[in-house]
Structure 1
């Protein structure tokens, strides 16, 4: 989750609610808790930015994959592998193909995934997102790689729509593409803000709304990651 936080506007109660509910709904005794914490610790020690999903968000997408019986996930933006580990560790039938353009991030993610015992089910592909997705689309269309049942886009925001377009050609009908960090602390509707990440967020909202194959909704979120939101889109 790429940060768009304004700490001066964060409400400490949001993080407190996350901490309280997680302690009851996903206590440290759960099988994957240590691996997830080790991933965050190792990523921080290696100097990665603190852009990973919150635990609640990570569990949410993992539960989505469970309820939809997803077996193959495509993720654009690996960072330290935290969200991929959430999905794979809670769904033994699931494999994740995750794309990362930063060589250092990819190496750290692979080490985290190996430590979590999930190297056989999480594939980290290093390379520029658009180029990798074009190649993956060719493999899916050729039948050498299965279609995906869920796509999670959490990378450079300026390319949101291009990632979305390419993913539409690789996803099972009536499955979800989720684009993270779209609200950006309300910057989405600050028309004076021309930051490329904001423009990329507006582009994916507006073009998804015009795409005949897409039925979507934007959900605003608060929590330990501040105020943001994600686009959930069902592709027909």
Structure 2
């Protein structure tokens, strides 16, 4: 099947199951106007993240990679009224736009965006003895994924769900001749998951408006 066909199916699913949403639509529009790359999750993927966080009963969510705040809004809406989401973003201009979009969605009281290198922010959260998170979404630079996973484990508790985005790389992870740094890092990320006794993990391939890729999902053991 072609990319066009995948996109049409995504659009059909979204039209039937995901009502129009002014805050989310405005987030996509403002991100495009600001020149951000269109690498946010698709609407049906955003709702999948929302439902997974709901199913987990998450009260505290950590997001690594904010961009314009699109997935942030989906995840924050899964929280109870006293829940909290912390999102990590390298680029100050992206963080500023995300905060504006989060405010437009009425979620500023439960969402904070930390600006700086994600590994530095993760170290700070650990040093500050932040309360563990129930749900962690890793969606930033892929070369740092192995490090993000190790820090995420330090910020987890038994039952924490850890989701990784973009783990298939259009099938490149299965090509032993591919030495792209992102591909090598994702392979390492998956290998660490598989060897880590505290994690039960799998990954799935996805196709759709964002092309051919996939998610990993792990649960921290009791």
TM-score tier by shorter-chain length is: over 0.9
Q: In the alignment, which residue of structure 2 is the partner of 1:14?
A: 6
- Measure the CA separation in 2 of the matches of 1:57 and 1:139: 32
Contact 1:10 1:226 in 2 (8 A): no
Secondary structure in structure 2 of the residue aligned to 1:107: helix
- Measure the CA separation in 1 of the matches of 2:121 and 2:79: 25
Q: How is 1:98-117 mapped onto 2 (pairs within 5 angstroms)?
A: 98-117=87-106
Secondary structure in structure 2 of the residue aligned to 1:167: helix
Match of 2:174 among 178, 189, 194: 189
- Measure the CA separation in 2 of the matches of 1:16 and 1:107: 33
Cα RMSD, aligned residues only: 1.3
- Residues 112-170 of structure 1 show CA distances to partners (whole Å, capped at 9, x for unaligned) of 11121111111000010111101111223xxxx32100000001111101100111111
Aligned residues, how many? 220
- Residues 26-70 of structure 1 show CA distances to partners (whole Å, capped at 9, x for unaligned) of 122xxxx11000000000000111010000110001111111110
Q: How is 1:1-236 mapped onto 2 (pairs within 5 angstroms)?
A: 10-28=2-20, 33-93=21-81, 94-140=83-129, 145-236=130-221
Moved segments of 4+, more than 6 Å: none
- Residues 185-219 of structure 1 show CA distances to partners (whole Å, capped at 9, x for unaligned) of 00111222211111110000111111111110011
- Measure the CA separation in 2 of the matches of 1:121 and 1:57: 22
Shift of 1:91: 3.4
Contact 1:217 1:231 in 2 (8 A): yes
- Measure the CA separation in 2 of the matches of 1:42 and 1:157: 25
The TM-score with structure 1 as length reference comes to 0.90
Structure 2 segments unaligned to the other structure (5+ residues)? none
Contact 2:56 2:161 in 1 (8 A): no
